[in-house]
A and B are shown apart, each in its own frame.
Chain A
C-alpha cells in the first residue's frame, strides 16, 4: 500500500568493506603474533643482558629496556597475555550481561521492572570507579584485573542486551511461543539469541577495543599484571620512567595497543555495516529523459501522459500510464500493494524517494509543468497532500498549531498570527470544535479522526486546486472513515477542489469518486465511473476479481473467489 511496505530484502549478501578487510587482516596478524611470538622470542624478551637502555639499532629495532631486554620482542610476546585477558574479560561481561539482559524479559512484569531499574542504577555508576574498587578489593594481579574489568562491564552489556531483547520480545512469535508453553530458557535460546546475534557480535567487537584499553590502563597504574608477567599496559608503565631519555621504548606497547584496538573497531564497524540491509551504496538512478514531451494541457486540472517511475535497477514501477483529472473532479486510484498507485501520486507531488526517478511526456497540475523546475511555493499553493497515518505525519514533540501553520508560514509568506487565524477557520470548516485549544494541544491528545481532520484543514489552508489523498482513511475506524469521506465530499462540492483519492478499498473508492482507475503492477487495467464500480459493472477480469474478493455486508451478493 505504501512505499514503506516494501518488505525487507531476503537473502541479502554479506558486504565486504575495505574497513572490515583491514580490521580482519590486522586482527589476524595480532592473533598470529600472540600464538607464535612466545615460541620464538621468549629468550630475547625475557633474558637479562648487560645491553641496557640501548637506542634502536639493526639488532634491536626498538632498543632495549633497562634490563637489556629487546623491546620489540617484549611487545610481541606480551600480545598473548593481553589478548587472553581481554577475551576472558569480554566473556565475563558479555556472558553475564546477556544472561541478565534476556532473562529479565522472561521474568514477571514486576521483577522485570525492578531489574531494569537496578541495571539503570548500575549503568549510571561510572564503570572506571567500579573497576578500581573491585581491583582494589581483590588486590593487584592478572586474575583480579580480568575480574574487575569483566564485572564492571556487566551492567553496560546487560543494558544493551535488554534493549535488544525488548525489541525482539515485541514480536508476536515470542509471545506466541510463550503462550504455547515453551519454557523461558528455550524462548531465549530459540528466539531471542538468534535474532540478537548480529547486534551482539557488533557490540562484542566494538567493546573489545574498550576492554583492551581498560585492561592496559589497570596494568599501567599497577593494579593489573605484576612482574615478572607483562602485558601492553605493564610494558607501557615500565617505559614511562624513561620517557625523556628513551622515548622510543614506548613505541612497541603503544603501537600494539593502537593496532589491536583499531583492528577490533574496524571489524565491529565492518560487521555493523555488513548486516545492516539499509547501509551500503544506495545507487541513484540516472536522471530521467523526458524525450517526446509536449506542453501541459490547460483544459484539464491534472494532465499525465506516459508517466514512468523506475528504480535504480531500471525496473519500471509505474509503467507508462496516462490519465487526466478535470477541475472539480474526484479521481480514485485503486489497486493492491505493488500496483504503483502511491508512486503515481508521489510523482505528481514531486515527492518520490531519491532512488526512484520519474519520466513522462506530460506531467502537469493546473497548467504548471512539473517536469521542469517548480518553485516549492508554487507546488505548496497548488497541491494539498494528505497521508495514510495521521499519527505519524505529526511530530509528537511539538504542539499541533505550529505544525499546521508551517506550510503557510514557510511558503506563502503568512505571519504567525494570520496563519493561525487561517488554520483556525479551516479547522472549524472540517467540524473541529474549539480550534484555538486544539492548536495548543500535542498530537497524542487528539484522536485519529481529529488528527486526520486537522491534516485536511492544513492541506486546504493554501486553497489548493488539487488535493492528493493517499489512503487517508485506512488507519481509521469505520464510523470515523465515513465522517472523513463525508468531509472530502463536502470540500469537493463546496470548493470544487479536484482530488486524487488513492485507496485499496473498492467500497470507499466507489462511494466517493466520480471516476476510478484500477492499477495493477504499474499499469492501468481499467478506467470506469464510480457509479459503474459501485454497481459492479466492471469490464476487465482483474477489476471483476477485485470486486468479487471484496467481502460484502449483504448475502445477496455472494462472493465468488476465483483461485
Chain B
C-alpha cells in the first residue's frame, strides 16, 4: 500500500470541537480497491472521521488527500469536486430516503443533482436497482413500501449510481435484523468484488467488519490504537484494547462471564 495506489490518505489529522479533541493526529491510508474496516466504541471518533472524509467537518490541523486532491493545497472548487466523488451510505434506513419521493426520483437525484429526471436516467436506475437485487418496478414506488433491508439496498444503489471513487458505509447494518444484515453484507461483498470499490466500512460490530474488510483500523478516544491487515489483527491482536474488544464479543473464544 504505497502512496501511488492510495485513494485516501489521512495525514496527522486532528479535529477539535472547542476544548474537546475528537480526533488526535490520525494517520492512515485507504488503498484503491480496498475495503478498510473501522471499528471503535462510542466516542472513539469513527463518525467524526467519516464526516471529515465527506466534507461535513473541517480538520483543525493535518491533511486529507482524496484521489490526489489535498485539502491543504487544493482550491475550494477542487476540494468540492473531490468530495463529490465520495459517497456516504447512512446508518438509518428510515431517515435516509425522502418519504415523498419515489425510488426513481431519489436515484435520479443522485445521478443528476440538477435536473433529477427519472425518464432520462431510467435505464441506469433500473440497472442499479437490479444490482442491489430489487425489481425494476421499484422505480415508481415510495419508500414506505419497502422493508428496512430493502431501503438500505436502495441507499446503496443511490451511492453507487454516482460512480463514486470512494464509499463510506456508516453502520449500515446496525438497524437491521440478523438475517437481513447477512443479505446486505453478502450484497456488499459481491459489489465490492464486481466493481472494485474502495470503501470505508464503519461498525461497532467486529464480527460484521471482519466479513467485508481487507484492512482494519481500531480506534479509541480519537486515536488509532491498531491498524493493518484485517486477518492478522483478528488472529493476533497486538494492542491490549483490540484484544479486549475481541474478547468482549459473546461467543468468542476469549469471552467469559466470570467476573474480572
Residues of A within 8 A of B (CB): 7-8, 10-11, 170-173, 175-177, 179-183, 186, 190-191, 194-195, 336-337, 448, 477-482, 485-486, 489-490, 504-508, 510-512, 534, 545-546, 548-555, 559, 561, 563
Contact = CB atoms under 8 A, between A and B. Distances in A.
B125 interface: no
Q: How large is the interface on B (under 10, 10 to 19, 20 to 34, 35 or more residues)?
A: 35 or more
A512 B257 contact: yes
A375 to B, nearest CB: 35
A548 B182 CA distance: 9
A553 B113 contact: no
A453 to B, nearest CB: 14
B84 A180 contact: yes
Contacts of B41: 477-480
A118 B42 CA distance: 36
Most buried by A among B87, B186, B257: B257
Given A176-B90, A478-B248, A507-B249, A551 B207 contact: yes
Contact of B257 (A173, A181, A486, A559): A486
Contact of B84 (A181, A485, A554): A181
Contact of B205 (A177, A549, A551): A551
B43 to A, nearest CB: 9
Contacts of A563: 183
Interface in B23-52: 41-42
Nearest to B159: A176
Contacts of B54: 179
Most buried by B among A170, A172, A448, A504: A172
Contacts of A8: 144
B3 to A, nearest CB: 26
Contacts of B208: 551
22 contacts: A8-B144, A171-B96, A176-B88, A179-B54, A186-B114, A191-B98, A477-B204, A478-B245, A478-B249, A479-B244, A482-B250, A485-B250, A485-B257, A504-B177, A507-B250, A510-B251, A512-B250, A534-B251, A549-B179, A550-B178, A553-B210, A554-B234
B183 A11 contact: no
B246 A553 contact: yes
Interface string B83-94: 110011011101
A489 B257 contact: yes
B86 to A, nearest CB: 8
B109 interface: yes
Interface string B122-149: 0000000000000000000010110000
Nearest to A557: B251
A561 B183 CA distance: 7
Contacts of B156: none
Most buried by B among A173, A504, A534: A173
B194 interface: no
Given A191-B98, A504-B178, A512-B250, A486 B84 contact: no
Contact of A551 (B42, B97, B210): B210
A195 B113 contact: no
B10 interface: no
Nearest to A549: B182
A508 B250 contact: yes
B120 interface: no
A336 B84 contact: no
Given A7-B94, A448-B42, A479-B248, A546 B179 contact: yes
Contacts of A478: 41, 204-206, 245, 248-249
A505 B250 contact: yes
The 7 closest A-B pairs by CB, nearest first: A10-B144, A549-B182, A511-B250, A551-B207, A507-B251, A482-B248, A477-B41
A486 B96 CA distance: 36
A177 B177 contact: no
Nearest to A509: B250
Contacts of A176: 88, 90, 96, 158
B113 A181 contact: yes
B177 A553 contact: no
Given A175-B56, A478-B249, A550-B178, 19 more contacts: A10-B142, A171-B95, A173-B96, A175-B90, A179-B83, A179-B88, A180-B109, A180-B110, A182-B113, A186-B116, A194-B100, A337-B177, A480-B41, A482-B249, A534-B251, A548-B182, A550-B207, A555-B231, A561-B182
A448 B41 CA distance: 12
B178 A549 contact: yes
A559 B42 CA distance: 27
A336 B210 contact: no
B73 interface: no
B62 interface: no
B1 interface: no
Given A172-B92, A507-B251, A511-B251, A336 B207 contact: no
A553 B208 CA distance: 8
A361 to B, nearest CB: 31
B258 interface: yes
A6 B186 CA distance: 26
A8 B97 CA distance: 14
B55 interface: yes
Contact of B178 (A181, A336, A448): A336
A554 B245 contact: no
B16 interface: no
B69 to A, nearest CB: 16
A180 to B, nearest CB: 5
B101 interface: yes
Interface in B179-209: 179, 181-183, 185-186, 204-208
Nearest to A548: B182
Nearest to A339: B177
Contacts of A179: 54-56, 83, 87-88
B202 to A, nearest CB: 14
A422 B247 CA distance: 34
A149 B129 CA distance: 51
Contacts of B110: 180
B244 to A, nearest CB: 6
A183 B80 CA distance: 13
A190 B109 contact: yes
B99 interface: yes
A478 B251 CA distance: 12
Contacts of B182: 548-551, 559, 561
A183 B113 CA distance: 8
Contacts of A182: 109, 113-114, 116
Contacts of A170: 95
Contact of B252 (A186, A546, A553): A553
Given A10-B145, A179-B54, A478-B249, A511 B255 contact: yes
Contacts of A11: 144
Given A477-B204, A478-B249, A551-B185, A559 B211 contact: yes
Contacts of A505: 178, 250
Contacts of A481: 248, 250
Contacts of A180: 84, 87, 109-110, 113, 162
Contacts of B210: 551-553
Most buried by B among A490, A506, A508, A561: A561
B42 A477 contact: yes
Contacts of A337: 177
Contacts of B247: 482
